[in-house]
A and B are shown apart, each in its own frame.
Chain A
Amino acid sequence: MAGALRVSLDLDSPTPAYRQIANDLRRHLVDERLKPGDLLPPVRQLAVDLGVHFNTVALAYRMLADEGWLELKRRRGAAVIARNAPRAVDRRQADRLLRRLAQIAAELRSVGMTSRQISSALRRLAQGARP
């Protein structure tokens, strides 16, 4: 596992803590910085480090386990597993996310970004760049 693998949490963000943790982890998984066989810290250890309730981290891990990224190990955290890829696109899930993306695109335009800038930023993000 490569070094400097981090998860961050903004207590001031309207996004729930478990979702922020899951989002960060998913980004590492999609970028393949976390590879099959890698172990994640035990739930309690990560919860203590982030200063959140154990259930918050457990919920994030369970969410990613449901998506097929992780295998949960009792008292030993979670292990990254080989996900069956490519999966058939889940149309309902994709539509829901695209609706969210449309809202975000509208917000970006309202803060002054042009369509071209938004497209370019999206392309960079899709290729794994950080914002």
Chain B
Amino acid sequence: MTSTSWSTMLVVTVNAILFHAMPRFSRPDILFAVTVPEAFVAGAGRTLVSRYRAIVWSGAAAALAISVLLPTPEPGSGRGAWLMTGVVAGNMMVALAAWLLAHRRARAYAIPPSDVRVASLVPRDTSLPGGALLAVGPFVILLATALLMYTYRDNLPDGPGTITSFLALGGIYVAMMLTMAVSLARRTRQIAVDGPAAAAEQRFRRVNVLVLVLVAYGVAVQLSATTVASIPAFSDTLTGGLGFVLLPLMLFNFGVTFWMFRVGQGGQRAVAPAARQEFHGDATPDRAWKVGGLFYFNPRDPAVWVENRVGVGYTLNIGNLRAWLLMIGMMLAPMIAALLLF
């Protein structure tokens, strides 16, 4: 077997595991992106989940068999990469089709949306974890790198121009991450009104915001290290040193993913059933979720971010103008910066 076959098998297996776990991430009363009674999830809904998983794993088994049984392409022909892409894409399509089928079946058991909405009158903490001090950290790292590069400007093979642009682009990425973090902290609906369920939901949101702040740190550290490595005096030291910084960040991200799997969407699986909110679902109407719950489109909802129904974390309300401004800003800012700087 070639390395391409092994890579294909790894991707297919990881994909199957993710799709297998997907129903587990949802809130306890949401199944396949549909708001259903919690009793249904624990009862008849399990049959739906079993059938869905059977299709996912059958697709994965077929993809694995194809990647093993097909003849090994000649090295350098480029067919290996095509084969891998085809097998992985096919496997992904089967898994998505399984999800869409299960979603359609679950809709027969959907709970009609409630006309009553309830909110807490207690102001909640919408600040960034660690406050402004932690948020300026990535900018300080980039600025310190720029100063260091300025000091060693005579030792740079390509001159300081490109490197300054590189760091400025890093600054834009960091600003984007922090904008997303602020937006997520402030423009997300609090679903559980009070008690342990609300506390768990707020903790869950803050961890998500913290992840974005730490991603900003990761970007700043990575760019700074790459830049500083161009100075011969630092290149050897950085090779080993960078791992000490990035490894904890990676471990933290793995830890967070595992934690999210355990506590589920909005942290609600960690809350005792009796202490959960008295209203069903995530305060978004099922009809506003499109393509099996992948996209949320609700122009009448002022929330920019809502909880994902497929997977864990948050997604943008693509019916909201502010969400579009955020998305367009995210896409355009680095492109314009790259055009101007390089």
Contact = CB atoms under 8 A, between A and B. Distances in A.
A5 B302 contact: no
Contact of A49 (B115, B116, B189, B195): B189
Contacts of A12: 115
B307 to A, nearest CB: 13
13 contacts: A3-B195, A6-B121, A7-B119, A8-B119, A11-B115, A25-B121, A34-B121, A40-B121, A41-B122, A41-B123, A44-B187, A45-B123, A77-B123
Interface of B: 115-124, 126, 186-190, 193-195, 283, 300-303
B123 A51 contact: no
Given A41-B122, A50-B117, 10 more contacts: A3-B195, A6-B119, A6-B121, A7-B119, A8-B117, A10-B115, A28-B121, A41-B119, A41-B121, A50-B119
B296 to A, nearest CB: 12
B191 to A, nearest CB: 8
Interface in A10-65: 10-12, 25, 28, 34, 39-42, 44-54
A10 B116 contact: yes
A4 interface: yes
A6 B117 contact: no
A9 interface: yes
A53 B302 contact: yes
A85 interface: no
B202 to A, nearest CB: 12
B245 to A, nearest CB: 36
A46 B186 CA distance: 11
Nearest to B301: A51
A6 B189 contact: no
Contacts of A52: 117, 302
A126 interface: no
B303 to A, nearest CB: 5
A7 B283 contact: no
Contacts of A5: 120-122
Contact of A9 (B116, B188, B189): B116
Nearest to A9: B117
A12 B188 CA distance: 24
A40 B122 CA distance: 6
Contacts of B126: 45
A8 B303 contact: no
Interface residues on A, range: 20 to 34
Contacts of A50: 117, 119
A111 interface: no
Contact of B194 (A3, A39, A77): A3
Contacts of B122: 1, 3, 5, 41
B118 A8 contact: yes
Contacts of A44: 186-187, 302
A58 B235 CA distance: 57
Contacts of A49: 119-120, 189-190
Contact of B303 (A3, A28, A48): A48
Contacts of A4: 194-195
Nearest to B298: A51
A13 to B, nearest CB: 8
B139 to A, nearest CB: 24
A54 B194 contact: no
Contacts of B121: 5-7, 25, 28, 34, 40-41, 46
A42 B118 contact: no
A47 B188 CA distance: 11
Contacts of B300: 51
B187 A48 contact: yes
A54 B300 CA distance: 11
Nearest to B119: A49
Contact of B189 (A48, A54, A77): A48
Contacts of A41: 119-124
B302 A6 contact: no
A59 to B, nearest CB: 14
Given A39-B123, A48-B188, A51-B189, A6 B283 contact: no
Contacts of A9: 116-119
